Structure 1
Amino acid sequence: MATLAGIGSGLDLESIISTFVKAERGTREASINERELNATEELSGVGTLKAALSKFQDVLAKLSDPNTFYQNKSTYSYLGTTGDSSDILTATTDGVVTGGTFEVEVLKLAQGSRLDSSPGAFTASTDTVGAGKLIFGAGTNGFEVTVEATDTLEDIQKKINDASDNFGVKANIINSDAGPILTYTSSVTGSTNQLSVTNDNASLDAISTGMTAAKTATDAEIKIDGQTVTSSTNSFSSAISGIALEVNNLTQAGEKLTLNVGVDTESVNDLINDFIDGYNSLQSTLGALSDPVSGPLAFDSSIRSYEMQLRSIAGSPVSGTSGALSMLYDAGITMNADGELEVSSIMKNGQPSGAQRLEDAISNNLSDLGALFAGDDGIAKQLSDFTATYLETGGVVEEREAALKSSLTRVQEDRDKLGRYIESYEATLRQKYTALDVTIAQYNATSAYIESVLKPVEKK
């Protein structure tokens, strides 16, 4: 522990040293504190920006995906029940479809084929049958399995099921009263895809050419408004233009399922309103971050650059439409004085209101509306691509975060340096004032001695 200064001289040198140290630290520390506060506030602001951009990007991801944007709705009526789903079939749409109402009968489901070995052909699942190759085929599909003379039925079953090029054949052994039955079941459906098994050695006939068909591969068959349509699978991708059907169960004899497909205007409207809300929320965040008085990123040029581009894209025309809808304004979406998007319900100069224009676009021009948002040059696509440059690895946000974290690291380094400097500065002051203390103490001692020598002797 350092010796208190001023003991020898009697002067309050500790207060003098403390005052000088405090003054020296205060000026330098204030600068460091200000730098730390500014960097911390900016880093928090960048975090807020990153969260806002990510949230907006989630909205754009849905809006820029044609499969999400082109919202069509299917309803099913069967045996007196109407709903949004059916266990008979499922309809999905691709892009904008004309829609309509269709009566559907599901007469047959597509199925694969199955072969069974003859009852009594084997006495146990450990029986062997011979050696050679089994050649499996179903339509254009095929694979081979090599059978060794020592392979049992169980071994053959495993080889078939484990074959790397097996196209969908499952081998099983049923232990019936008549003995083991080896079965092959093919998942390949369609009347032209009947499973066949041949061999290159007659000793394998019992598990190939000698097997009988227990199930025949068939096509799915449906009627749409009385017209028969078949498919080798239970999927009908082009039976109705733009509408794919997946059949799951048969309809009852003489009963028809009524399928109604139309534009889901409510979902499209909700999607566009989500975009408007997301845009305005982001705009509000950007305004708060760049506020010249209170904004933590008031002097960050990247904020102003993003905001300018955001408004530019939102207010510019896009290509890829018929021309009837090439701007947000055409779809009833306008930008107010605060830079926020809105759909106005007020008619001006006898022109349709924004709400009317949007309703008309959804109901009568969904194709162009989709291109306006989700097309290759669509607004959502442009905004998503531009926003990605801020959020991607090595993008604007990441670089800004890295720079601010580096600044905070330097602040801590400067704070450590200041601590060492103040220690050195105080030690230097103590050295000087200790020397002064010693000198004054010596002067005081000399003065006291002289005073004692020169003091008159009192007479007795």
Structure 2
Amino acid sequence: MAGVTGIGSGIDIDSIVKSMVAAERAPKQTQLSNLEKKTTTQITAVGALKSAISEFQAALGALNKPEMFQARSATSSKSDLVGVSAGIKAGAGRYQVEVKQLATSSKVALGALKNVADQPITFGSGTLTVKVGEGDKSINIDVNASNNSLAGIRDAINKAGTELGVSATIVTDDSGARLVLSSTGTGKGEDITVAVESDDPSLGTHDLGQLKFLAPALAPDAGSFATEQEYQVALATYAADSGPKTLVTAQSAQITVDGMLVTSKTNKIESAVEGVTLDLKSKTPLGEPLTINVAEDKVGVKKQIQSFVDSYNKLIGVINAQTKVTSVGDDKAPVAGALVGDATARTLLNTIRNELVNTQGGGVLRTLTDIGITTQKDGTLAVDGAKLDKAMTDNFGALPGLFTGEKGLASRLDAKLKPYTEAGGILEQRNKAMTETISKIDKQKVDLDRRITSLQERLYKQFNAMDLLVGQLSNTSSSLLASLDNLPWAANNSKK
């Protein structure tokens, strides 16, 4: 029985069997473990290589866009007053912009009503028609016993006014509680009006008609009064009036571009300068225009070229790390990368390098060296910033020809890389083969365990049978000796 020392023979069967089993298992187990470790390391290396290639391809795709070289950068000398962005149609230039007024939306306060504690405000039934501007934009609010309070009407307006861009709140001032309506629509003429059709005034404490607002009730204009005192008196009278009020009048934005007047219903103006969008945030001080600069987006192009170089260097770094042999001392074996001697990595590297030095076309910029990008001893690329800036200043229009189009460097490199990363490509097939190897190793491990278990059981049976036989022979021997000792002549001999 496994684990029990031989009773008949006194032999340590368990120790002997374990040693024999371990000796049988060790060579195959070591072989499988080494193969599994090597294959797993290669799978990781191929995964890192594929990831680096994909990142490089993404940089190539971003670089292979003619519109990127047509992009424009736009800056505002006072971005807190006017923001700016430019499309590819924008012409390079400088523009003086002065913001005369911003576009605003309408905001009105309906008539104030006193709210008595023992008799809360309610209204008779009817219909409120809330309208914005002179067009057909309006909503109808049916007022009945279910919603004839200020809160009920407010909620009904907020629910129905989403598409119209109208919202309502309740504000209580010294004159009483008011419904305050706001609109999101800006521009001259986009004012809020409220028409009322009353059905049954007796349904509430107030006639629904008291919420009517048709003509703008404007605050006094300081310019209409002879003295400041008269203006302040009129302003105080207006503030104390319980009637409806125009809190904010809808108006259009007005700016000047190089002295030319531009009017817009919104604060985002796209039609003033072709391809340029102005985002108005605040008025400019009188007589102090700000400056808008529109130019070729060379910074964005330079950034993308640097991204191309960085992703290429990362790819080369991965290949170098996985294909080099590193010495770690005279008395120790060198450390080899997972893809040392690998044909896939070597072919890929040669393909990329050949394409980088391939001269294209007959223009001013034909190779990477023409824009200050050179290859270092370790295979990575380095950028000479001064030479790149000079090339972009002198020959910016020739840059797209170097990188974009079917014959551009980006397309050519991507075409060489695609067989490695596409579905069913070289790296996927390689990974599939290595995964199958791991599966086979797992199967061989199971087979080894089964064979070793069978061997162990056979050995225990054989040793136990031997032990039993030895025990039996020992017992027979002892019995014979005892019998011989009991014979008469054996007894006489013993007395002599």
TM-score higher than 0.5: yes
State whether residues 72 and 294 of structure 2, in contact with CA within 8 Å, keep that contact through their aligned partners in structure 1: no
C-alpha deviation, 1:331, in angstroms: 3.9
TM-score (norm 2): 0.69
Map Cα deviations across residues 243-274 of structure 1 (whole Å, 9 max, x no partner): 32112111112222233344565564344223
Alignment correspondent of 2:214: 210
Over 3 Å counting, the alpha-carbon distance change for 1:448 and 1:127 in structure 2 is closer
Instruction: State the SS of the aligned residue for 1:191.
Output: coil
Alignment correspondent of 1:248: 281
CA distance in 1, matches of 2:416, 2:191: 53
CA distance in 1, matches of 2:443, 2:313: 41
State whether residues 314 and 328 of structure 1, in contact with CA within 8 Å, keep that contact through their aligned partners in structure 2: yes
C-alpha deviation, 1:104, in angstroms: 1.7
Alignment correspondent of 2:204: none
User: In the alignment, which of 306, 309, 329 is matched to residue 276 of structure 1?
Assistant: 309
Alignment correspondent of 1:23: 23
User: In the alignment, which of 428, 431, 436 is matched to residue 458 of structure 2?
Assistant: 428
CA distance in 2, matches of 1:395, 1:128: 76
C-alpha deviation, 1:44, in angstroms: 3.3
Alignment correspondent of 2:151: 154
| Pairing 1:167–2:164 present | yes
Over 3 Å counting, the alpha-carbon distance change for 1:128 and 1:317 in structure 2 is farther
The residue type paired with residue 42 of structure 2 is E
Over 3 Å counting, the alpha-carbon distance change for 1:206 and 1:316 in structure 2 is farther
Alignment correspondent of 2:381: 341
The residue type paired with residue 152 of structure 2 is D
CA distance in 1, matches of 2:390, 2:396: 9
Alignment correspondent of 2:126: 131
C-alpha deviation, 1:234, in angstroms: 1.1
Map Cα deviations across residues 376-407 of structure 1 (whole Å, 9 max, x no partner): 99766887899899889999888877876776
How many residue pairs were aligned? Answer: 438
C-alpha deviation, 1:43, in angstroms: 3.8
C-alpha deviation, 1:283, in angstroms: 1.4
C-alpha deviation, 1:109, in angstroms: 0.8
Map Cα deviations across residues 124-155 of structure 1 (whole Å, 9 max, x no partner): 48331531352523466724233223322322
State whether residues 127 and 198 of structure 2, in contact with CA within 8 Å, keep that contact through their aligned partners in structure 1: yes
| Pairing 1:295–2:328 present | no
The residue type paired with residue 180 of structure 1 is A
CA distance in 1, matches of 2:471, 2:95: 114
User: In the alignment, which of 174, 179, 182 is matched to residue 177 of structure 1?
Assistant: 174
What pairs with 1:357-376 in structure 2 (closer than 5 Å)?
358-366=388-396, 369=399
Alignment correspondent of 2:222: none
Structure 1, unpaired ranges of 5+:
77-84, 346-354
Map Cα deviations across residues 271-294 of structure 1 (whole Å, 9 max, x no partner): 422321221122120232245992
CA distance in 2, matches of 1:243, 1:274: 27
State whether residues 288 and 295 of structure 1, in contact with CA within 8 Å, keep that contact through their aligned partners in structure 2: yes
Which stretch has the larger CA shift, 154-163 or 438-447? 438-447
Instruction: State the SS of the aligned residue for 1:238.
Output: coil
C-alpha deviation, 1:425, in angstroms: 0.9
CA distance in 2, matches of 1:128, 1:404: 81
Alignment correspondent of 2:264: 231
Alignment correspondent of 1:111: 104
Alignment correspondent of 1:74: 75
Over 3 Å counting, the alpha-carbon distance change for 1:252 and 1:12 in structure 2 is closer
CA distance in 2, matches of 1:230, 1:67: 32
CA distance in 2, matches of 1:58, 1:167: 44
The residue type paired with residue 436 of structure 1 is M
User: In the alignment, which of 188, 201, 225 is matched to residue 185 of structure 2?
Assistant: 188
The residue type paired with residue 111 of structure 1 is T
C-alpha deviation, 1:71, in angstroms: 6.5
| Pairing 1:93–2:94 present | no
Instruction: State the SS of the aligned residue for 1:32.
Output: helix
C-alpha deviation, 1:89, in angstroms: 0.9
TM-score (norm 1): 0.73
Alignment correspondent of 1:38: 38
The residue type paired with residue 238 of structure 1 is S
CA distance in 2, matches of 1:27, 1:129: 99
Instruction: State the SS of the aligned residue for 2:123.
Output: coil
Over 3 Å counting, the alpha-carbon distance change for 1:10 and 1:255 in structure 2 is closer
Alignment correspondent of 2:239: none
State whether residues 134 and 208 of structure 1, in contact with CA within 8 Å, keep that contact through their aligned partners in structure 2: no
Over 3 Å counting, the alpha-carbon distance change for 1:127 and 1:437 in structure 2 is closer
Over 3 Å counting, the alpha-carbon distance change for 1:267 and 1:181 in structure 2 is same
Alignment correspondent of 2:237: none
CA distance in 2, matches of 1:400, 1:137: 67
The residue type paired with residue 33 of structure 2 is N
Instruction: State the SS of the aligned residue for 1:240.
Output: coil
CA distance in 2, matches of 1:382, 1:423: 58
State whether residues 220 and 234 of structure 1, in contact with CA within 8 Å, keep that contact through their aligned partners in structure 2: yes
State whether residues 71 and 268 of structure 1, in contact with CA within 8 Å, keep that contact through their aligned partners in structure 2: no
State whether residues 63 and 410 of structure 2, in contact with CA within 8 Å, keep that contact through their aligned partners in structure 1: yes
The residue type paired with residue 108 of structure 1 is Q
Over 3 Å counting, the alpha-carbon distance change for 1:317 and 1:216 in structure 2 is farther
Alignment correspondent of 1:351: none
C-alpha deviation, 1:110, in angstroms: 1.0
Instruction: State the SS of the aligned residue for 2:178.
Output: strand
Identity rate of aligned residues, in percent? 30
CA distance in 2, matches of 1:451, 1:249: 123
Structure 2, unpaired ranges of 5+:
200-206, 218-245, 326-334
CA distance in 2, matches of 1:305, 1:207: 82
State whether residues 160 and 166 of structure 1, in contact with CA within 8 Å, keep that contact through their aligned partners in structure 2: no
